[in-house]
Structure 1
Amino acid sequence: MNAAPVGVFDSGVGGLSVLHEIRRQLPNESLVYVADSGYVPYGEKSPEQIRQRSRAIAGFLLGQGAKALVVACNTATAAAVNDLRSLYDLPIIGMEPAVKPAAQATRSGIVGVLATTGTLQSAKFAALLDRFAGSVKVITQPCPGLVELIEQGELQGPRIEALLRGFTAPLLAAGCDTLILGCTHYPFVRQVLQHLLPPEVNLVDTGAAVARYLQDRLVEANLLAAGPAAVERFWTSGDVKLMHKVLPVLWGRDANVEWLPV
């Protein structure tokens, strides 16, 4: 099982930001990635719809021999990760907005969260606030339309800038000095955000922490790959040609993309 791949999935291509961190942290691991772009964005879907898609994709990845699963989507984690853990006996790692490190990092005591509607409305997010926010004031901001532009490979330009200005303006006006990137798509527009925001505003995401936790779980289960013969495979439920177009932009190199038969 050590040579078996790690399965990673997201509502679309945003999870590639997490895949980058996994590849950097675990260079010997083979990776299989599903972009469920035919159903993006998950943030506008019902929890039951997300659970159904997550079960179907998890079953597909297990069929590809996956030894562990990474749910590289905050919304899918909130809606479906407990369901998947009840169905499958293997390491399953989810995402969650970085409330704890943001609460520790803020100097003003005010933290902003950029995320999808589904993540912000979830019970899991509410529980995160209860556990880690403490006396810190957390202000949330849904970001409709942002995922869709990133899915097209549009990472800069006037449309992206206009959206981000609109989403961050009320957070800055409220005194936020730390912003949580609460969707795996959003790290791909980090550079634009850094250009638009005052230099003292800190941006926080959880991709690197997820990769470290995956490594810990693989070591614990004696599943860590030993050799360097790592491979990468990609599937999408959306437009295969479009993913071929955006993959070099988001992943840094081209790769074969197959249509997801789920």
Structure 2
Amino acid sequence: MTVPSQPIGVFDSGVGGLSVLRALRAELPYERFVYLADSAHAPYGERGDAYVGARTHAITQYLRAQHGIKALVVACNTATAAAIHEVRSRHADLPLVGLEPALKPALSATRTGRVGVIGTRGTLTSAKFAKLLASVAGQAEFVTQPCDGLAHAIERSVAQPLPSHPSATEIRALCTRHLRAMGRFGTKAGQMDTLVLGCTHYIFAADDLRALVGPQVRFIETGEPVARQTRRLLQSAGLLAKEPLGGAHAGPPPVQLLTTGALDPLQAAAQRWLELPADCCAQVVIP
């Protein structure tokens, strides 16, 4: 029997989904979380659907069997596009939230009617994204750009946060190349005044992206909408945790961060982006 005290599972191909976990913790302060970074098999965005689907199913099964999760947030646009429908059918009893590029929120934000969308090639060439794009056809012009290499560069940069590190230089170069290929950003007619960040990693390159598009272009990412949807699902299922474990005076609920790859990058990301201690991180093997 599922009860409110069980944790919420969150997973991504790497550390990018920590941006979603950050939003989830802000929206759901009394919940326990188990986050899994499948870093040994990243990046998902440059692999085929069959591979990503197999990993998604293996991780879902692991989180259910080993951690007894009460809900799952697939904090990865590529995994959502490749596998979310099959996961729903196999785990019909599990509240499930996936990600997709936030095209509909972008419609409300744009004033010029031109919206840029950046994401992995796996996300932007998927049938799921094509269906999403078709659903907003005629309401705005969407300029899409697969950002090959960017998520992987951000992943590699985590353990080396110094701006002078080669990975930081690579991130700036990739952002420059991909955004320049899209056209002009700005608030004038014909320019893109809104940029959808269609990969959870990209918010961690926000400073580089902002330097390229200017201060008036609005960024749209998915962490907060996903957190609100997770709250709604838990409430409707009667599974929302209403107070911290140990009572109202207890500290924040525990968070477990797991990785199938090297431990150091996850520990560095936890400290840098979530202010969590290194000892909340562990390495696991998921065949």
Query: TM-score range with shorter-chain normalisation?
Result: over 0.9
1:6 aligns with 2:8: yes
Shift of 1:192: 2.5
Which position in structure 2 is the counterpart of 1:130? 134
Shift of 1:101: 1.1
**Which of 26, 29, 36 in structure 2 is aligned with 1:27?**
29
Shift of 1:37: 0.4
Number of aligned residue pairs: 262
Name the CA distance, whole Å, in 2 between partners of 1:47 and 1:149. Answer: 21
Name the aligned partner's letter for residue 250 of structure 1.
Answer: W
The question of whether the paired residues in 2 share the 8 Å contact of 1:99 and 1:133 is answered with no
The question of whether the paired residues in 2 share the 8 Å contact of 1:93 and 1:210 is answered with yes
Which position in structure 2 is the counterpart of 1:175? 191
Name the aligned partner's letter for residue 61 of structure 1.
Answer: L
Which position in structure 2 is the counterpart of 1:187? 203
C-alpha root-mean-square deviation of aligned residues, in Å? Answer: 1.5
Name the CA distance, whole Å, in 2 between partners of 1:134 and 1:33. Answer: 38
5+ residue gaps, structure 2, are 185-189, 246-252
Trace 1:239-250 onto structure 2 (pairs within 5 A): 239-250=262-273
1:234 aligns with 2:234: no
1:56 aligns with 2:58: yes
Q: SS of the counterpart of 2:16?
A: coil
TM-score (norm 2): 0.87
Shift of 1:216: 0.3
What CA deviation, in whole Å up to 9, does each residue of 1:150-204 have, x standing for no partner?
Answer: 1121665432222111111132437211110000111111122223322221111
Name the CA distance, whole Å, in 2 between partners of 1:34 and 1:260. Answer: 9
Name the CA distance, whole Å, in 1 between partners of 2:153 and 2:277. Answer: 20
Q: SS of the counterpart of 1:138?
A: strand
The question of whether the paired residues in 2 share the 8 Å contact of 1:218 and 1:224 is answered with yes
Which position in structure 1 is the counterpart of 2:70? 67
Shift of 1:242: 2.7
Name the CA distance, whole Å, in 2 between partners of 1:245 and 1:226. Answer: 31
TM-score (norm 1): 0.95
Name the CA distance, whole Å, in 1 between partners of 2:138 and 2:222. Answer: 20
1:159 aligns with 2:170: yes
Shift of 1:109: 1.3
Q: Once superposed, which parts of structure 1, at least 4 consecutive aligned residues long, lie more than 4 Å away?
A: none
Q: SS of the counterpart of 1:114?
A: strand
5+ residue gaps, structure 1, are none
Question: Higher mean Cα deviation, 107-116 or 193-202?
Answer: 193-202
* Residues 133 and 260 (structure 1), Cα distance of their counterparts in 2 relative to 1, 3 Å cut: farther
Which position in structure 2 is the counterpart of 1:76? 79
Trace 1:204-243 onto structure 2 (pairs within 5 A): 204-229=220-245, 230-243=253-266
1:142 aligns with 2:146: yes
Radius of gyration: which is bigger?
Answer: 2
What CA deviation, in whole Å up to 9, does each residue of 1:7-29 have, x standing for no partner?
Answer: 00001000000000000000000
Which position in structure 2 is the counterpart of 1:43? 45
Question: Higher mean Cα deviation, 111-120 or 148-157?
Answer: 148-157
Name the aligned partner's letter for residue 144 of structure 1.
Answer: D
Name the aligned partner's letter for residue 54 of structure 2.
Answer: Q
Name the CA distance, whole Å, in 2 between partners of 1:36 and 1:201. Answer: 32
Question: Higher mean Cα deviation, 251-260 or 4-13?
Answer: 251-260
Which position in structure 1 is the counterpart of 2:103? 99
What CA deviation, in whole Å up to 9, does each residue of 1:124-147 have, x standing for no partner?
Answer: 111111112433111111111211
Name the aligned partner's letter for residue 70 of structure 1.
Answer: V
